[in-house]
Amino acid sequence: MKKLVSLIVGLALCLGLTSFAFAEGPAPVASEQLDAIETALYGTHQSSSMMERMESLEDDIYGAPDSGRNILDRIQSTYEYICGTNGGNGSFLQKLNGADSRLNARVTAGPAKTRIEELENTLFGQIQGGSLNQRLDRLVETTYAGGKVPVEAVVLPKDSLVKIEFTSPLSSKTAQPGDPVKFRVADNLYVNDVLVLSKGAEGVGEVAKVVQPRSFGRDARIDVKFSHVFAVDGSHVPIYIGKLAQQEAKTAIGAAGASIGGMVVLGPIGAVGGAFVTGKSKTIEAGSLTYVQVVEDQKISGIVYQEASAAGSEG
């Protein structure tokens, strides 16, 4: 459980800091940046010296250590490149998300290195050699005309609806405050012809409160606090359950009846991002769907839609 929480926190630190300059609190220190880079690439971080860790990262990413600069500058520049904290354009994660969504019509979950290996096996039948940069460039060249992910800065409007899918069950019997709530974007979301949220993109949320069933017919209750989903450029998009999201979920259930299977309607608890579900013993099953909405206008370096090449599938 601790390893899982560490992975989620590390990925959130890396993927969510495109908009760090607008967040409260101090900028991450070098050790936190190293943790974020390693977690984004490998799913966990190392415990050796900073110098050893940075040299290993540079060898893996670029093909050789960069001994011509001081260690802090090297960590900072690699952190910005991997995590896209300069707006996402040309970042490692943006290119990977572009190739992934191009080939699979969705963003797959997991550490970046594992995702590259899976894409290589799909495209070439085997894992390729070279640095991670070389391997990623090869994937982009194979999936995009001109060998470059086409990007365009757009604004995802406030209150845009996002369909999400829970990826693990959430039960009032076992949930505890602070537990991560696992969910992902269920459908691609575009602004005109620019992909801003890719199907499969992970979201971040947690259990805020659990109330067990009581006497006199009082049901159990789970309060869920939604935080954000990850855009294709690595930035985070704050979300919450508002009236539009509730109505959209109700409309989906009403239009399809019982056949919708798993659509749930969550109610607000007051705080931005909050929602609740109730029941004598309530469980939200994995695969359950609902809607959230975007808190505010969000500038995103999105991926311009193109007709899929023979190597990929339409997305």
Instruction: For residue range 177-196, list pLDDT tens digits in order.
Output: 999 999 999 999 999 999 99
Same-domain status, 297 and 159: yes
Task: Say yes or no: 207 and 226 in one domain.
Answer: yes
With cut-offs at 50, 70 and 90, classify the pLDDT of residue 253: confident
The rounded percent of the chain whose pLDDT value lies above 70 is: 80
- The reply to whether 172 falls in a domain is yes
Condensed to tens digits (0 to 9), the pLDDT of residues 75-89 reads 999 998 998 755 556
| pLDDT of 19 | 36
Q: Judge if 247 and 115 occupy the same domain.
A: no
CA distance 168 to 161: 22
Q: Do 208 and 279 belong together in one domain?
A: yes
Task: Flag whether 15 is in a domain.
Answer: no
Check whether residue 132 and residue 168 sit in a common domain.
Answer: no
Residues 6+ positions from 240 with CB-CB distance below 8 Å: 226, 268, 272, 273, 274, 275, 292, 293, 295
Asked whether the CA dihedral 104, 111, 197, 285 is positive or negative, the reply is positive
pLDDT at 98: 92
Question: Domain end: 115, 132, 149, which one?
Answer: 149
pLDDT at position 14, please? 61
User: How many domains are there within the chain?
Assistant: 3
Asked whether residue 306 carries a pLDDT value surpassing 90, the answer given is no
pTM: 0.80
Say what percent of the chain tops pLDDT 90: 54
pLDDT at 164: 95
Can you tell me the mean pLDDT for 310-314? 37
For residue range 106-148, what is the model confidence (pLDDT) as tens digits?
Answer: 898 899 999 999 999 999 999 999 999 999 999 999 999 888 8
In the predicted model, what is the mean pLDDT of the chain?
A: 83
Chain segment 40-50, per-residue pLDDT in tens? 999 998 889 99
Q: Is 159 exposed, middle or buried (0-12, 13-18, 19+ CB in 10 A)?
A: middle
Last residue of a domain, one of 44, 62, 83: 83
Domain check: are 298 and 221 in the same one? yes
Report, as an integer, the average pLDDT of 148-154.
91
CB 84 within 8 A of CB 234: yes
CATH of the domain at 206: 2.40.128.260
The distance in angstroms from the start CA to the end CA of the chain is: 34
Instruction: Give the range of the structural domain holding residue 238, as residue numbers without chain letter.
Output: 154-302
Residues 36 and 118 in one domain: no
With respect to residue 102, please indicate whether it lies within any of the assigned structural domains.
Answer: yes
190 assigned to some structural domain = yes
- Give yes or no for residue 62 having a pLDDT over 70: yes
Same domain flag for 165 and 250: yes
Q: What is the 3-state secondary structure (H, E, C) of the chain?
A: CHHHHHHHHHHHHHHHHHHHHHCCCCCCCHHHHHHHHHHHHHCCCCCCCHHHHHHHHHHHHCCCCCCCCCHHHHHHHHHHHHHCCCCCCCCHHHHHHHHHHHHHCCCCCCCHHHHHHHHHHHHHCCCCCCCHHHHHHHHHHHHCHHHCCCEEEEEECCCCEEEEEECCCEECCCCCCCCECCEEECCCEEECCEEEECCCCEEEEEEEEEECCCCCCCCEEEEEEEEEEECCCCCEEEEECCHHHHHHHHHHHHHHHHHHCCECCCECCCCCCEEEEEECCCEECCCCEEEEEECCCEEEEEEECCCCCCCCCCC
Whether 134 is covered by a domain: the verdict is yes
